[in-house]
Amino acid sequence: MGVGKLRSKHVGLVVMSIVLLAVSLVMLLPFLIMVLTSFKTMGEIQSPTFSLFPKVWHFDNYAEALSRGDWLKYFYNSFVVTIITVVISLVLNSMAGYSFARLRFPGRDILFFSVLIGIMVPAQTTMIPTFLMMKQFPLAGGNNLLGQDGIGFINSYTGLILPFIAGSFGIFLCRQFFLNFPRALDEASQIDGASKFRVFLQIYLPLSKPILATLAIFKTTSAWNDYMWPLIMTNTEGMRTVQLGLTIFRGETNVEWNLLMAATTLVVLPLVVLFLAAQKYFVQGIVTTGLKA
Amino acid sequence: MKPMLSRSVETNGKTRSKQRLSIDYVGYAMIAPGYLIYFLFIFIPLVVGVYYSFTNYNFYSTPEFIGLQNYARLLQDALFGKAMYNTFIYALFTILPQLFLGLILAVLLNGKLFGRVFSRASIYIPNVTSMVAVSMIWLWIYDPALGILNRMIKVFGIDPIQWLYNPNTAMMAVVIMSIWKSLGYTMIVYLAGLQSIPSSLYEAAHMDGASKIRQFFSITIPMLKPTTFFILVMSCINSFMVFEQVNIMTAGGPLNSTTTVVHQIYLRGFQDFQMGYASAMAIVLFLITLVITLINFKYGNQGDDLDVD
């Protein structure tokens, strides 16, 4: 009886493993189609007989896809926007989070409460006033002191970056993290007479790698993948990000699917690589905050 | 401020209270840059948005106060009603299958199965990729003439379907793609929830002779209630923000069968420049998320149960 039960348990595990593997393949199928299509010719795609794999692998599709539009510029723009957003947001959010968690000054709790309100405000609610503010920003982009006559921060990196370098979510995340630090840490350093800012730099920051990594991953994903804000803020070829670049192919009457899929593969690739390298922090970000990137 | 200081004196004793009473002025400086950004780009726009919603602002002329006219117009706007309805349908049909499938996958992945790490990554990867990229891939899958889906159903003798170009199927096509994209999210949160259930519960149930299925319904599901509630709240909020896939794949069509609330805000605000009217829509959207969030504050425990490790 014991052996039979053990065997049936093993059979069950194998069956369930196969089911799970099948689900995984179904989930990956759209990406597989994307990559395989990117190597085909349009003739092959339009042929009445369907084959999953390309007959000849056309690597030159990638060069061809990148020549449709200024892709070097799009990638450059996306990298610049993502990297600057991530770096500044780490500095500002962790500093504010530390102050809210550890320093004492009048008005601290009211300020923090007002930051919390922001968590409930979706970006889609504020995008119209934010857009108008960016356009009418005094003395920016040819504007006068009243924010007239120019384009403000429209079509600029500042416009794409500025609204995202700090926010309720990041401040909240850092504060919660620093609250869990033992109080003894501060008291020991205060005896040494270290200033609060130095305590933050030399004691807190070096111990904050997990939360900084989580926040960095979250910010990287949202900046790289963002579509709506660049769509609103930019209208020139030279300021497009990669996500906007993809929509060029969609605008054509006869979509060249092989080229579109080649460009899509390239746009998806950096985040997939980042995900495979830092899965732990992706998962941690979701689990601790519940927010989707 | 005073009561707080005196409380710290009580709790921390005399020796420490001296240090506590000092004010860390550097705190203001450290908060200032982050708070300024928050204040400029979240707080002020929210207040200004409320103000615009009571005006006829159209981007070119100065705004005039028109009271509740925008909101009255919203109630009679058939297109906005349609967008609201579509958004509800989208929310309903993406959230429920996601909860169900996400839970099953999480339970499977929580066991000692072969290829767990690979499966978890494969199921989660769609959630990492951008909505634009994913929309492009599914546009290709759904393409009526050449796409793989119509080629596959042809094998079974089914005529080509105009997935995204037929008002009866367009929303469901968008929904299926969205389920595929965010299933990994639900799975990961459920997985964390499962790992927080004490194994002693299952051991006790096992001793009492409860079957695996019985354990699932009597332990797993009730213990995951806070997790389920949490996912439900987050998914509701996310569903009300749906815009990108709709704008890219269908542009709200055909016959407005896929237009959503945010898509309407975008069209009215940035295509027609009816900033005042679009702001009223945005405030309605904010109120909906506010209600959902407040329900979460009252009945949920803020995902406390979701802490990993």
* Same domain membership, residue B113 and residue B11: no
Give domain status of residue B118, yes or no.
Answer: yes
pLDDT at residue A73, rounded to an integer: 95
pTM equals 0.88
Contacts of A116 (CB under 8 A, 6+ apart): A168, A172
Compute the nearest-CA separation of B168 from chain A (Å). Answer: 23
* Same domain membership, residue B221 and residue B108: yes
Q: Encode pLDDT of B17-42 as tens digits.
A: 445 567 888 889 999 999 999 999 99
Cα–Cα distance measured from residue A161 to residue A180, given in angstroms and rounded to the nearest whole number: 31
Please tell me the class of the A69-289 domain. mainly alpha
pLDDT at residue A258, rounded to an integer: 93
* Same domain membership, residue B138 and residue B7: no
Give domain status of residue B19, yes or no.
Answer: yes
- Residue A197's nearest CA partner among A99, A93, A91 is A99
Contact A190 B19 (CB under 8 A): yes
Q: B289 vs A162, A288, B186, B227, CA distance in Å? A: 25, 20, 19, 19
Contact A24 B115 (CB under 8 A): yes
Give domain status of residue B294, yes or no.
Answer: yes
Cα–Cα distance measured from residue B263 to residue B267, given in angstroms and rounded to the nearest whole number: 6
Q: Encode pLDDT of A188-243 as tens digits.
A: 777 676 788 888 988 899 999 989 999 999 999 999 999 999 999 999 989 999 99
Instruction: Out of B1, B34, B192, name the one closest to residue A92 (CB).
Output: B34
- Burial code (b: 16+ CB inside 10 Å, e: under 16) for A45-82 equals beeeeeeeebeeebeebbeebbebbbbebbbebbeebb
Instruction: Out of A171, A261, A267, name the one closest to residue B140 (CB).
Output: A261
Contact B136 A133 (CB under 8 A): no
CATH number of the domain where residue B213 is located: 1.10.3720.10
A–B CB contacts, 8 A cutoff, strictly below = 295
Contact A96 B185 (CB under 8 A): no
Q: Encode pLDDT of A135-190 as tens digits.
A: 988 888 788 887 778 888 999 999 999 999 998 889 998 998 898 888 887 777 77
Q: What is the ipTM of this complex?
A: 0.90
* Same domain membership, residue B211 and residue B108: yes
* Same domain membership, residue B90 and residue B48: no
Contact A118 B293 (CB under 8 A): no
Read out DSSP for A124-154? HHHHHHHHHHHHT-TTSTT--TTS-SS-TTT
Instruction: Out of B122, B136, B306, name the one closest to residue A260 (CB).
Output: B136
Could you tell me if A159 and A228 are in contact, meaning their C-beta atoms sit under 8 angstroms apart? Answer: no
Task: Enter the tokens of residue B72.
Answer: 């009255």
Higher pLDDT, A183 or A88: A88
Contact B27 A103 (CB under 8 A): yes
* Same domain membership, residue B230 and residue B143: yes
Find tokens 């305590």 and name the residue.
A199
Task: Find the Cα–Cα–Cα–Cα dihedral B260, B263, B265, B270, rounded to 10°.
Answer: -160
Number of domains in chain B: 2
* Same domain membership, residue B98 and residue B16: no
Q: Secondary structure of A27-59 in the HEC alphabet?
A: HHHHHHHHHHHHCCCHHHHHCCCCCCCCCCCCC
Instruction: Out of A104, A168, A228, name the one closest to residue B244 (CB).
Output: A228
Q: A7 vs A2, A10, B203, CA distance in Å? A: 9, 5, 21
pLDDT at residue B143, rounded to an integer: 92
Give domain status of residue B72, yes or no.
Answer: no
- Residue B141's nearest CA partner among B171, B119, B161 is B161
What residues in B contact A120, CB-CB < 8 Å? 286, 289-290, 293
Instruction: Out of A163, A257, A264, name the one closest to residue B146 (CB).
Output: A257
- Which amino acid is present at A28? L
* Same domain membership, residue B193 and residue B252: yes
Contact A33 B128 (CB under 8 A): no
pLDDT at residue B104, rounded to an integer: 93
Cα angle value B186/B299/B295 (rounded, 5°): 85
Task: Enter the tokens of residue B151.
Answer: 């080629």
Contact B138 A264 (CB under 8 A): no
* Same domain membership, residue B159 and residue B13: no
Query: What proportion of chain B, given as a percentage, has pLDDT over 90?
Result: 62
The residues pairing with B55 across neighbouring beta strands, listed in sequence order, are B65
Contact A250 B248 (CB under 8 A): yes
Q: Encode pLDDT of A14-70 as tens digits.
A: 888 899 999 999 999 999 999 999 999 998 888 888 888 999 899 999 999 999 889
* Same domain membership, residue B145 and residue B35: no
**Mean pLDDT, residues B191-207:** 89
- Give me the residue spans of the domains in chain A: 69-289
Give the domain extent around B48. Answer: 2-52
* Same domain membership, residue B215 and residue B290: yes
* Same domain membership, residue B249 and residue B116: yes
Residue of A nearest to B241 (CA): A124
Give the mutation candidate from B5, B17, B37, B60 for the A interface (greatest A CB count, under 10 A): B37
